[in-house]
């Protein structure tokens, strides 16, 4: 898909990557820590991946969730894989707080209140993700 923004990224804040996926920080002042985990190849659905690829991809998604929970201590983490607008496999990992602009609704809904600016240190996320995701397959075996 020549016009896919996930195949030809521009101005991304890359937090971590391996040979098959990458983690980027989404630039949203009200949702600091909002990350996107992107499969490198242009693939549309999870079932288009092999079982081993799915397990690896989800280990990375869950690793992002773990790091965000540890660093930000949100009230909730939202995981979403939509792909309706960009049919390239990716997961949104979104830390949520009860006082954010949209809570308890999805962040793509109409805001209920003014949200607070929430900042996160990308270097801290990169460091923690690098420590946790040295070998994502180890997470599947409980090591």
pLDDT band at 3 (very low <50, low <70, confident <90, very high): confident
- Residue 56 falls inside a structural domain: yes
Pick from 32, 18, 6: which is nearest to 132 by CA?
Answer: 18
> Are residues 46 and 53 in contact, defined by beta-carbon separation less than 8 angstroms?
no
Taken as a whole, the chain contains a residue count of 143
Torsion of CA 133, 138, 142, 143, to 10 degrees: -90
Write out pLDDT tens, residues 20-45.
Answer: 999 999 999 899 999 999 999 999 99
- Residue 142 falls inside a structural domain: no
CATH number of the domain at 127, please.
3.30.428.10
- Residue 61 falls inside a structural domain: yes
Give how many domains the chain has, as a whole number: 1
Sign of CA dihedral 44, 48, 54, 56: negative
Which residue range is the domain that position 109 belongs to?
13-73+84-135
pLDDT score of 140 more than 50: no
- Residue 7 falls inside a structural domain: no
- Residue 3 falls inside a structural domain: no
Report if pTM > 0.85: yes
pLDDT band at 16 (very low <50, low <70, confident <90, very high): very high
pLDDT band at 134 (very low <50, low <70, confident <90, very high): confident
């Amino acid at each position: 898909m020549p016009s896919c923004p996930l195949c030809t990224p521009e101005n991304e804040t890359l937090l971590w990557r391996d040979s098959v996926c990458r983690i980027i920080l989404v630039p949203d002042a009200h949702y600091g820590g909002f990350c996107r985990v992107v499969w490198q190849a242009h693939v549309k659905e999870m079932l288009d991946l092999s079982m081993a690829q799915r397990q690896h991809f989800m280990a990375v998604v869950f690793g992002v969730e773990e790091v965000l929970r540890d660093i930000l201590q949100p009230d909730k983490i939202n995981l979403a894989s939509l792909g309706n607008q960009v049919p390239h496999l990716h997961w949104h990992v979104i830390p949520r707080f009860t006082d954010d602009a949209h809570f308890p609704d999805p962040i793509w809904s109409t805001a209920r209140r003014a949200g607070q600016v929430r900042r996160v240190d990308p270097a801290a996320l990169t460091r923690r993700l690098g420590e946790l995701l040295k070998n994502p397959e180890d997470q599947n075996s409980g090591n």
